[in-house]
Homo-oligomer: A and B are copies of this chain.
Amino acid sequence: MSVNHKIEPGTKVDLRKIDPESQGGLLKTDAAMHSARLGQRLAYLADLLYFAGQHSVLIVLQGMDTSGKDGTIRCLLQSVNTQGAHVHPFKVPSHVEIAHDFLWRCHQKTPGKGEMSIFNRSYYEDVLVVRVHGLVPETKWSQRYEHINHFEKLLTDNETIVLKFFLHISLDEQEQRLLERENEVEKSWKLSVGDWKERVLWDDYQKAYEVAIEKCSTESAPWQIIPANKKWYRNLAIMQAIVDALEPYERGWLTKLEEIGVKAKAELAVFKALPK
């Protein structure tokens, strides 16, 4: 399995030209097999990350309502079952949060060495919902793209591996999922009137995403646009992207573990024979 949804810096982004139905040439019948393999690989790499303690991983998940941020997190946490993984949701900012700069609350939750943090929404909302609803003047939000790039550079200069995923669904798929939420008792708590209202602003949001991805896809912290109409493919693509991002560090982390003679090495050994 080899997929690449990275947006190279400087690329013009037109979401209408990226198929949210894509399944990267894979068959759904093979999904379980790929998922098992990637899950094991991810678990192994996340363990190495944790025990070596030389790098951090920040995973930023963004997408329209129902695009599958929660589902993606559930999938990742099934594999990355380590003490070093943390999920941080960023909802409407509190009174104290709004009294500070827009990066303040997110910076506090960035991962320390050996840790992996998953942001469910993030500081990108400050150039998305804030822009679409005009919550601050354009003179303000237009400065934020550059602040975001500088902030992410601070993180990557400090050995943080920054992975940003836009979960790309279609307007039709969203409608299906909203209707499902209405009809399924166990999902209806997730539905609010706001979800239907925000649909009217679909095009504005898509535009805001395009601009954010264009301006903030950098060499060291690129955006990835993940086709997300098929949940099984979305999960596979994200697992693959994380594995791809961590693998270059594998040898260095193993060397570090040899040096420090970590007692977990024995545990880790069981993973060493896993298929790539």
Number of copies: 2
CA distance A151 to B104 in the complex (A): 11
Q: Establish whether residues A101 and B108, one from each chain, have CB atoms under 8 Å apart when the complex forms.
A: no
Q: Scan A53-64; emit 1 where CB is below 8 A from any B CB, else 0.
A: 100000000000
List which A195-240 residues lie within 8 A (CB) of chain B.
none
Q: Does A39 contact B (CB under 8 A)?
A: no
Q: Scan A170-207; emit 1 where CB is below 8 A from any B CB, else 0.
A: 00000000000000000000000000000000000000
Central interface residue in A96, A99, A115, by most chain B CB within 10 Å: A99
A interface residue numbers (CB < 8 A to B): 53, 96, 99-104, 107-108, 110, 112-115, 140, 143, 147, 150-151, 153-155, 157-158, 160
Contacts A147-B150, A150-B147; is A158 near B110 (CB within 8 Å)? Answer: no
Q: Establish whether residues A158 and B100, one from each chain, have CB atoms under 8 Å apart when the complex forms.
A: yes
Apart from the given pairs A100-B112, A104-B107, 6 other A-B contacts in the complex at a CB distance below 8 Å: A99-B113, A101-B110, A104-B108, A107-B108, A143-B157, A151-B154
CA distance A38 to B142 in the complex (A): 39
Q: Establish whether residues B158 and A154, one from each chain, have CB atoms under 8 Å apart when the complex forms.
A: no
A115 neighbours in B (Cβ, 8 Å): 99
